[in-house]
Amino acid sequence: MEWLEVSTENCTVQRTLDVVGEKWTLLIVRDAANGVRRFDDFRRHIGLSEAVLSDRLRKLTAAGILGTVPYQEPGSRSRNGYRLTRKGWDLWPVLVALRQWGETYAPDPQGPVLDLRHTECGAPVRVVVECADDHTTLTPKDVTARPGPGARRLA
């Protein structure tokens, strides 16, 4: 079966984009990964409306990407803060890959907004695709893509 004969109804990329593919969603995940926890801080930092932010936070929480943690400022009502779950942290390599692509193809002339470095040695961090057996870095020409066990013939 060739790729064009395969139905994409159950494609994992498509299902992933159903969860995180809306505008602003990965920016919320990016900010959460960088320590933003409170609704007003997300809104102020990203610059989106309260309605859109509420919708995205609700969807990310329902998807298990963000968890809520109650907090209360003195003299104020209790509110929820947001933390990445394990599932949310598993999106971190996606964010690093998007940043890496952007630094190559859409860089800011003044340099990166965020400088990611390995804590131990100080070297820049990068995302690579590697072979699971020997950890060799791969390019697209080194990889064979073929329909997997979940592939269904296009109707």
What ranges do the domains of the chain cover? 3-142
Question: Which long-range CB contacts under 8 A does 15-22 form with residues at least 24 apart?
Answer: 19/59, 19/63, 19/65, 20/65, 20/91, 22/56, 22/59
How high is the pLDDT of residue 36?
A: 98
Q: How confident is the model at residue 99 (pLDDT cuts 50, 70, 90)?
A: very high
Average pLDDT estimate for 93-99: 97
- Minimum mean pLDDT among 1-10, 81-90, 104-113, 119-128: which range? 1-10
Q: What is the mean pLDDT of the chain?
A: 94
> In this predicted model, what pLDDT tens digit does every residue of 17-40 receive, in sequence order?
999 999 999 999 999 999 999 999
How high is the pLDDT of residue 2?
A: 84
How high is the pLDDT of residue 64?
A: 98
- Beta bridge pairs of residue 109: none
The architecture in CATH of the region 3-142 reads Orthogonal Bundle (1.10)
Q: Kindly state the DSSP code that residue 114 receives in the 8-state scheme.
A: S
> In this predicted model, what pLDDT tens digit does every residue of 110-128 receive, in sequence order?
999 999 999 999 999 999 9
